[in-house]
Structure 1
Amino acid sequence: MASVTYDHVYKRFGDVIAVNDLNIQIEDKEFLVLVGPSGCGKTTALRCLAGLEE
């Protein structure tokens, strides 16, 4: 079974905090929707998961 766990994930671009203390666990066969206003870090969080951001 596959799962994804984010534990206290942070991402900064210079002085701008894009993702601040993200904690989430996604288990096998679960479906996740990220909802929020523009600029809140949804895409950055997914890019981190995909390995496109360090």
Structure 2
Amino acid sequence: MASVTLSHVFKRFDKVVAVNDLNLDIRDKEFMVLVGPSGCGKTTALRMIAGLEE
């Protein structure tokens, strides 16, 4: 079984905050969708989950 858990995740690019205090718990076999306006940090959050961002 697999799960993804993020606790109080924060990501900044220079002075721009891309992700601020993200908390996420996805359990095995759950389906999750990130929705929001352009520039709200969806792609950055997914890149962090994939290990492409620190």
The Cα of 1:19 is off from its aligned counterpart by 0.2
Aligned length: 54
Using the aligned pairs only, state the percent identity: 78
Amino acid at match of 1:11: K
Map 1:1-54 to 2 at 5 A. 1-54=1-54
Structure 1 gap segments, 5+ residues each: none
> Aligned-residue CA RMSD in angstroms?
0.3
Post-superposition shift, 1:6?
A: 0.4
TM-score, structure 1 as length reference? 0.98
Q: Output the CA distance in 2 between the equivalents of 1:20 and 1:41.
A: 9
Structure 2: any 5+ residue segments left out of the alignment? none
TM-score calculated relative to the size of structure 2: 0.98
Between the aligned partners of 2:42 and 2:30, the Cα distance in structure 1 is 18
